[in-house]
Amino acid sequence: MSHYEYKANPTPTAGYWAGTTANVFSSTLSQILVKATTSTTEFDVIVTNDSSRVIQQITGCTGTINDTTKIPTIRVHTVEIDNATVDEEFEVLLMFDEGH
C-alpha cells in the first residue's frame, strides 16, 4: 500500500486558513495532524471533499490534534483551520493510504 502526505506550514489570517490536496484516488484518510506553535492556541479543523461536503470536523482543539479516524476518500480535499485564537504558524499533515 502506498501513502500520500499533504503537508503545509500555514499562518492563518484573522483565524482562518485553507489548503487543497492533490487529486487522490481510492484512498483512506488515516491521519489528520494539526499543531499550533503555541500549546494554548485554540482552533477548529474542517476537512471537506471536492463536493464541499464535510467529511471530518473537529472543534475546540487546543495546541495539537492528532485524529486517526479512518475515512474512505476519493479525489481532492480541502483542510481548513478556523477560529484560531492566534495567527501563528501551524503544522498541518493529512495522511492518505492509497488503494483502500
- Amino acid occupying residue 73: T
pLDDT at 10: 98
DSSP single-letter state for residue 50: T
pLDDT at 100: 54
Structural domains of the chain, ranges and CATH numbers in brackets: 3-98 (2.60.120.380)
Per-residue model confidence (pLDDT) at position 78: 97
| pLDDT at residue 64 greater than cutoff 60 | yes
- Considering just the CA atoms, what is the radius of gyration of the chain in Å? 13
Report the distance separating Cα 25 and Cα 11, nearest Å.
28
Is 59 in contact with 44 (CB distance < 8 Å)? yes
- Per-residue pLDDT band at 29 (split at 50, 70, 90): very high
Average pLDDT over residues 3-14: 96
pLDDT of residue 1: 65
pTM value is 0.93
Beta-strand ranges (E) seen in the chain are 3-8, 17-20, 24-36, 42-49, 54-62, 64-67, 71-75, 77-82, 90-98
- In this prediction, residue 25 carries a pLDDT of 77
